[in-house]
Structure 1
Amino acid sequence: MPRLMGRLPAPPWGEQTLKGRDHSTGADPRHGGGGCAAVRFGVQGGRRGGRPGRDRRQGALRRAFTARRDQKMIKEGSKVTLHYTLRVGDQVIESSKGRRPLTYVQGKGELIPGLEQELAGMEAGETRTIHVPADRGYGPVHPEAVQKFPRAAFQDPDAIELGDVVSGELSGHPFQATVTAISEDEITLDLNHPLAGKDLDFDVEIVSVE
């Protein structure tokens, strides 16, 4: 990959977890409540009142089920492994199918904001298509990110062609840019992300949640 020699000046631009619902059902109509006298209907076999033992068992089962469900859901700090296919319109840009899935930690900012937010609450084995608008993906296109550089700034300018991706260093950080124009004296680079300004669609399959 062609490289840009030296450092470029800094560009002029800067750089919910689902919550379980309360499923409590309120007072049992077979019991008294709110200070009112209990109203009992005749029950075959003479059973009267509530069944606190059974209610406690059901409550424990509900709590255990909720705990297990929460453990499987993607939430802050979850280590998530997933397969994905990224599309822009009908064009497939990238896919993990047929190779190693992606692993990330939820809440660490390792994914674009719009995707990470929508993954929250999903479970292992779940599949979904997630639409991410440009402002929640790679951001808008910055016209000022298209800049011209003298050919002498490149290590091998004669080998560079339109559409090439060149690498370099920007304020101490490595970057890649696309060659958009070449003249006798200058080479124009677009430092915008290739997906800037584009709405994205991700087909995701959650492999595991830890």
Structure 2
Amino acid sequence: MSDFIIGLTGGVASGKSEVTRRFEALGVHVADADVIARAVVEPGQPALAEIAARLGSEMLQDDGSLDRRRLRERIFADPQARATLEAITHPLIRATLARECRAAAGPYAIAAVPLLAEAGGRAAYPWLDRILVVDAPVELQHARLMRRDGVDEALAMRMIGVQATREARLAIADDVLVNDGHPEHLDAPVSALDARYRALAAASS
């Protein structure tokens, strides 16, 4: 059981996955909000039926699964539809994250929540003991996005622009890991954070 939970977040292309891989290599369980978000809308899940009921049956494909492309187009064009989707899925995602983290072996667990600042930060996730922000300069996020996703400059800027600002993310941080170099440079700061979190978890128990 892990009673000490770290929320990990960061902007698009900040390097969150590189960081979580290193925590996992140290034996830390990472519960991923993106993975859970996909699971809660699988066929047979109550959330999928509610999405179809409230946003229309055209959100489903012929086999009954979610038409992710059509849903994505809808929520980007219609803020009310986006709010409806979030009202259906976010409470389920938060509850599942908390349950998975608490069930994890080890002194602490990590809840990886890419849109933690956008979702309300600590107010929406009061069970987080600390928040770790993976931070990178906006111009570096921009360059990584263009290289990683093959998008043009304008789309990269839009993808960054729809997220919370760098300042808003840093405002909710207890800890900041700056990822502006080669991935290998993350090993030492992740090890230091792991040692700190193990000590804090031991003290809190």
- In which range does the TM-score fall when normalised by the shorter chain? under 0.3
Higher percent of residues as strand: 1
TM-score, with length taken from structure 1: 0.19
Higher percent of residues as helix: 2
Structure with greater contact order relative to length (CA < 8 Å, sep ≥ 6): 2
TM-score, with length taken from structure 2: 0.20
